[in-house]
Every structure is written in structure tokens, then in C-alpha cells.
Amino acid sequence: MKVRCGLARGQSPGCHREGPLLRPLPLWRQRSGGLTMDQPTPHDQTYHIPVMVPEVLSWLEPASQGWIVDCTYGGGGHSRALLDRYRAVRIVGIDRDPDAVDQAPDDPRLAVVEANYANIDEVLGRAEFPDRVEGILCDLGVSSHQLDTDGRGFSYHRAGSLDMRMGPDADRSAADLVNTADEQELMSIFKRYGEERHARAIAAAIVAQRPFHDTTDLATCVAGAVPAAARRGGHPARKVFQALRIAVNDELAGLTAFMDSAFERLATGGRIVMMAYHSLEDRIVKRAFVDRARACVCPPDLPVCVCGANPDFRILTPKAVRPTAAEIENNPRSRSAVLRCGERIL
């Protein structure tokens, strides 16, 4: 685990890092000596334009005198907005991508840790952080920096290595997956994570034409495998790339594990804000909120609750919050965002 931090719980200012990266650097980081090639300035919006900032600030206001964990630090846009608006707040940023950690600024109220948010228990187990926090923010998915960096392999528009790992904790690249998984597994990935109607034909074409090492070759193969009509509404490789990214980074299992830990890490009165960009992610968040707010553990066939459990959580957004039309116009990548917020009440 690597930490970039300023002042936390009586420590002296400055940065420290721990733990070497044990795996070889992927190509995109080898070429840049471990850092991104064009280093963005801290909180430069070219890294990523943060989504629904006023809404996030408002839902997290009750946490503004305490600690907030920004579980998907990225370009740090949400963290910066919180630090600028709330003078007393302290933030633990988490990101599994070393590029995100490397570009975090030195700020005495901010510590950024390279980790998977599914390991939030391990991060908050560190001596310099509190066990329970007043706010948790999770802005799921990939950053514009990840999508737009040549060699990361997230975009079918950009030629380069078929990698797609958000960070070195992911075991296999998209090329490993595409070149070794059997046809059935590929089909089920495209169906499940991409809701791709032509999953079977695409999986068959990939298996017949592999190996693939390059994004463009894979995108061309996918385009050739679908009927002409399916090539009209957007690039036919979009859903396949999204599905591979979700599989490579084990995103849904990580999110499911995270939700359980996150509730436990909220202090009484603490708020959790989750922003999802994909229906499968949002479903996991919504279900976890509903289950936690219900709390009853009686068998479903009992007519009345006999377990006497008191829910320790309430949902503050009965209807999901979405970006305004003006925000979507300014930042089209915000269009699929869905925000949900809840509060720990016991």
C-alpha cells in the first residue's frame, strides 16, 4: 500500500510512501517512468471533470466537521471541492490506480492511499486514520484520464495495448482474458456485464481470430461479428469494452464486498454517497441500501416482524438523483450518473 499524505492525526507534514509495487509495471507506466506522460496539475479538470459536485457537497455537508473517505479519488475533483468548501474536513482518498495517487497534491488535510476500496477496512485500520468516519463518497467507474490515456486500453477509439487494468492489483489484463477464456465464458461476460445482444457471435469471432494484443484489432473483430444494423447506434465495440473492463477489474464483486464494510465504517449520523454509471452497479448499491435500511432478519414468509431488529440506516434519496440537463450538456460523460445517499442512524 502506498500513501501520499500531509498532516494526519498529529503527524508531521510531508509525504511518505510505503510498500513497493510488487508486480512489474504495465506498459503505460513503464513508458512514463512510473508517472503519466503528461502530468496534470493537481485538480486540473483535464484529468477528470467531477460529476454532480454541488449535490455531493450538499449531501456530505453534515460530515464537513469530520473525516470523509473519498473511495475513488481519481483526479481529486470531489475531494478538492470538499476541502475548498469545508475548512474543518479531513479526507482519506483511495484509488487503486497509482497515476491517481501520484498526482494528488500535498495538503495537510488530505491523505491518498493506493488501495482497492474493497479493502477500506485495511485502509482505515492504519493508525493515522479513525476507525469510523462521518462521510464516505464513491464515484464509480473509470476516470477520463484512464479512458483517454494511450496504452491503458480502456477505449476502442485509441490504438494501443489491450490492458484495461485500473491498477496493479488486477491479476490479468484484457488481452489475457480475451486470449485465454473459452467461448462460453466470453459470451457470458459480454451478456452479463455489457448486456450485449450479439454476445454469442462476438465470442465466437474472437475465439476464431485470437490472439489479440491491440484495442483496434479487437474493436475491428467485434464490428465484423455483428449485423450491419447493430453498427448504426454507436460503436459496436462499446459494450464489449465495458464488459471486459468490468471483468478485468472484478468491479461488481469489489463493490458488493465494499458495501458491507462501508456501512460498518460510518459513525452514527455519518453519510454515504454512491455515484454509479452502470445499471448493474446501481442495482448493487440500491439493494445494499434497501437491505440495510430494512434490517429485519425474519424469514420472508413470516406475516409480521418478530426479530425486533432496529434498522441503523436510512435512505435519504428515495428517488435516485441525476445530473441536470445543463451539466450533461457541459459534460456528456455525466449523463448516466445516478447518485444515492444514506445515513447511519444508530
Site size with ligand SAM, rule: CB under 6 A? 22
Q: How far is the CB of 252 from ligand SAM (least distance, A)?
A: 10
Using CB under 6 A as the binding rule, whether residue 96 contacts ligand SAM is answered as: yes
Binding flags for ligand SAM, 56-85, as an x/- string (CB under 6 A)? ----------------x-xxxxx-------
Query: Which residue's beta carbon is nearest to the bound ligand SAM?
Result: 74
Side-chain half-sphere CA neighbours of 2 within 13 A: 18
Using CB under 6 A as the binding rule, whether residue 143 contacts ligand SAM is answered as: yes
Q: What is the DSSP string of 250-297?
A: THHHHHHHHHHHHHHHEEEEEEEEEEESSHHHHHHHHHHHHHHHH---
Query: Which range in 115-123, 286-294, 302-310, 338-346 contacts ligand SAM by CB under 6 A?
Result: 115-123
Q: How far is the CB of 16 from ligand SAM (least distance, A)?
A: 20
Q: How far is the CB of 81 from ligand SAM (least distance, A)?
A: 8
Report strand pairing: 133-139 vs 110-114. unpaired
Q: How far is the CB of 145 from ligand SAM (least distance, A)?
A: 7
Q: How far is the CB of 273 from ligand SAM (least distance, A)?
A: 11
Nearer to ligand SAM, 163 or 201 (CB): 163
Query: Which range in 14-22, 57-65, 91-99, 281-289 contacts ligand SAM by CB under 6 A?
Result: 91-99
Residues 6+ apart with CB under 8 A from 123: 1, 69, 92, 94, 113, 115, 129
Nearer to ligand SAM, 94 or 225 (CB): 94
Q: How far is the CB of 185 from ligand SAM (least distance, A)?
A: 22
Q: Which of 102, 139, 163, 343 binds ligand SAM (CB under 6 A)?
A: 139
- Euclidean distance between CA atoms 67 and 135, whole angstroms: 6
Nearer to ligand SAM, 75 or 160 (CB): 75
Closest CA relative to residue 178, chosen from 165, 167, 162, 166: 162
Helix (H, G, I), strand (E, B) or coil at 343: strand
Closest CA relative to residue 189, chosen from 248, 109, 137, 140: 248
Closest CA relative to residue 79, chosen from 98, 99, 107: 107
Q: Which of 55, 97, 196, 282 binds ligand SAM (CB under 6 A)?
A: 97
Closest CA relative to residue 288, chosen from 323, 252, 247: 252
3-state helix, strand, coil in the chain (%, to 5): 40, 15, 45
Q: How far is the CB of 141 from ligand SAM (least distance, A)?
A: 5
Query: Would you call 124 exposed, middle or buried from its count of C-beta atoms within 10 A (0-12, 13-18, 19+)?
Result: buried
Q: Which of 4, 29, 48, 198 binds ligand SAM (CB under 6 A)?
A: 48
Query: Which range in 17-25, 89-97, 150-158, 176-184 contacts ligand SAM by CB under 6 A?
Result: 89-97
Binding flags for ligand SAM, 244-263, as an x/- string (CB under 6 A)? ----------x---------
Closest CA relative to residue 7, chosen from 108, 138, 95, 89: 108
- Euclidean distance between CA atoms 55 and 105, whole angstroms: 24
Query: Which range in 11-19, 96-104, 153-161, 263-271 contacts ligand SAM by CB under 6 A?
Result: 96-104
Q: What is the largest CA-CA distance in the chain?
A: 63
Using CB under 6 A as the binding rule, whether residue 94 contacts ligand SAM is answered as: yes
Query: Which range in 134-142, 209-217, 239-247, 260-268 contacts ligand SAM by CB under 6 A?
Result: 134-142
The Cα-based distances of 191 to 154, 155, 162, 183, 243 in angstroms read: 18, 19, 20, 12, 8
Q: Which of 63, 68, 89, 100 binds ligand SAM (CB under 6 A)?
A: 100
State the residues that interact with ligand SAM by CB under 6 A.
48, 50, 72, 74-78, 94-97, 100, 116-118, 139, 141-143, 166, 254
